Structure 1
Amino acid sequence: MKSARSAKPSISAAALAALLLAGGAVSCGTEEAPAMSPAAAVAEAAKNTEDISSLRYRMKGEIPQQGHVEAEASLRTKPSMAMSMQMSALDQGPEGTVEIRLVDKAMYIGGGPEMAKEMDGKSWMKFDLSALGADKEMNQLGAAGTAEKNPAAETALLTGAEDVERVGTEKVDGVQTTRYSGTVTLDEFRDSLKDEDRATRERREKSLDQYEKMGVDEITMDMWVDGEDRTKQFRVRGKADGGPLDLTITFLDVNEPVKVTAPPAGEVADLAEMMRESGA
């Protein structure tokens, strides 16, 4: 794409993967109460996610149709929504590295020098959802839906599993943890929500969106819980329409300050303006 006025904007596969999978975090109960069953510990974990207002995490694994990926992200849900993620699709070479920022309800996708070659020197593309009138369309890609919820809710999926078990104790990044594991279908998870209040039910059902988009029907999840009753790491595995899903997310910190700023205006191509100028 050679001209910001006449070019047809596009998003790399790696960017879409990052939009769809902007990670997750959760708090979780351990064996502080010896009599607590694995299922009860997981249920307690889901409740603890409500207090997480910001988090930083690392993501590594395999995403259907995208191959092997690595990413690090920060997200804040209060007092306002903000997100920053740097992601590399390792099988796609230089074009597979992208950065995503969500600031003031606008999504920015940065492709660095590779994008600048195709965008007349602009290394960032801005998606202002309200200006584009494309809130629903972008939500179908996972952008708005993923960014506008606390991904801490992801591990609530394990509350729907009937085979949750305590696997043992392991160290993750030097931290002693207790590991839990279980398998759940999306239908089983939905069924497990029937006794929850409406707000909790709607919040947890959002966790299903990204898996349904990938065509995943059943998920195997492992959770590593530290001594402070917080999940240090979790892993999700499943078979999707486009190949295997095997993603591990490690939590670096929660409820710490997160600041995200928009890219310099001179480096940004505004998709809404480009579309207006081209009459699209």
Structure 2
Amino acid sequence: MKTAKTAAGIAAALIVAAGASGCSIGSSVGKQAADSAQTLVATLTKASDEASKAGSAEVKMTVTMPENGGKPVQMNGVYSWGNGLAMEAEMPAKDLEMEDLVADGTITYRLVQGAYYYGIDPAPDGPFKGKSWLKLDASAVLGEKGAAAMNSGNNDPTAGLKSLKWASDVTKVGTEDVNGKKSVHYHATVPTSKMGDAAATFGAVAGSGVTELVADIWVDEKGMPSRLNQTFGGSTINVDFLSFGVAKDIAAPPAADTADITDMVKNGGAAKG
């Protein structure tokens, strides 16, 4: 088994996941319309409140990052934030260069309590012998501060709307169809210096040289976010919210079936022992 290649692919997946959760905090921050500032803040704050109350959402996501060679990585699954941030999604193994770990070409990915899990086919030998899940702590890529920010109570894919007051260059783009939903499109720029606790996670993903986040959000006729697009530096995250209030218990896999690869990733892909 190519452990170095495996570690690289897993690290890329972690960065993708961090961008989806941590940066969506700041990106939702920047959505506004063409009316008065107070009206815009009230409209989008309500959208944030209603979405947050839902506690979960089915999402379709595409992430492009320089760290992964600019190759788009796709995830389709469920976010849950009612009892801590969690996610379960399906990802094409080829997007992560992890084809040698699964026979069907798909990686099942989970985020639970600050750790990332990747479902694999049990290996007959090697460092992952008999294991069907790989575990990676968020701190391995995000650092301790970044991981703590990602696990904060305000870190879900909708919470950033509450920070709308920090957005600049705000415009209402117009009305568009998003997955069959009539939605109003808003555009804004958010200074990273105004992102609060999300800045640590954002910095781990985007790098220290990025000073702003360009964000677009679409809000449907029910006042719920239907799409969220974010650009920061050379990275982009596009999220479609397909439905809200999806009841799903996302649990960590059994410890006996899991191989912890955190140290391997921290060591640049070198497995110990």
Aligned residues with identical type, % of pairs: 28
What TM-score do you get using the length of structure 1 for normalisation?
Answer: 0.68
Distance 1:144 1:115 in 2: 33
Deviations 1:176-213 (A, max 9, x none): 011111223223xx2xxxxxxxxxxxxx5233333322
Shift of 1:171: 0.1
What TM-score do you get using the length of structure 2 for normalisation?
Answer: 0.69
What is the aligned partner in structure 2 of residue 196 from structure 1?
none
Distance 1:252 1:217 in 2: 30
> Cα distance 1:62–1:169, how it changes in 2: closer, same or farther (>3 A)?
same
> Cα distance 1:162–1:63, how it changes in 2: closer, same or farther (>3 A)?
same
User: Aligned ranges for residues 1-280 of structure 1 at < 5 Å?
Assistant: 10=7, 12=9, 13-23=11-21, 24=24, 36-37=35-36, 40-42=39-41, 44-46=43-45, 48-51=47-50, 52=52, 53-66=55-68, 67-79=71-83, 81-88=85-92, 91-95=95-99, 98-103=107-112, 105=113, 107-113=115-121, 118=126, 119-126=128-135, 140=143, 142-143=146-147, 145-148=149-152, 149-156=155-162, 158-187=164-193, 190=194, 205-213=196-204, 214-215=206-207, 216-239=210-233, 244-270=234-260
Q: How many residues were matched structurally?
A: 244
> Cα distance 1:265–1:89, how it changes in 2: closer, same or farther (>3 A)?
closer
Q: Per the alignment, in what secondary structure is the counterpart of residue 151 of structure 1?
A: coil
Q: Per the alignment, in what secondary structure is the counterpart of residue 172 of structure 2?
A: strand
Structure with the greater relative contact order (CA < 8 A, sep ≥ 6): 1 or 2? 2
List runs of 5+ in structure 1 lacking aligned partners: 130-134, 191-203
Distance 2:15 2:141 in 1: 13
Q: Whose Rg is larger?
A: 1
Answer yes or no: is the 8 Å Cα contact 2:73–2:96 preserved in 1.
no
Shift of 1:254: 2.1
Answer yes or no: is the 8 Å Cα contact 1:14–1:88 preserved in 2.
no
The one-letter code matched in structure 1 to 2:129 is D
Distance 1:72 1:113 in 2: 20
Shift of 1:90: 5.4
Shift of 1:45: 1.7
Q: Per the alignment, in what secondary structure is the counterpart of residue 65 of structure 1?
A: helix
List runs of 5+ in structure 2 lacking aligned partners: 100-104, 265-270
Answer yes or no: is the 8 Å Cα contact 2:80–2:248 preserved in 1.
yes
Distance 1:116 1:219 in 2: 45
Answer yes or no: is the 8 Å Cα contact 2:218–2:226 preserved in 1.
yes
The one-letter code matched in structure 1 to 2:179 is D
> Cα distance 1:146–1:221, how it changes in 2: closer, same or farther (>3 A)?
same
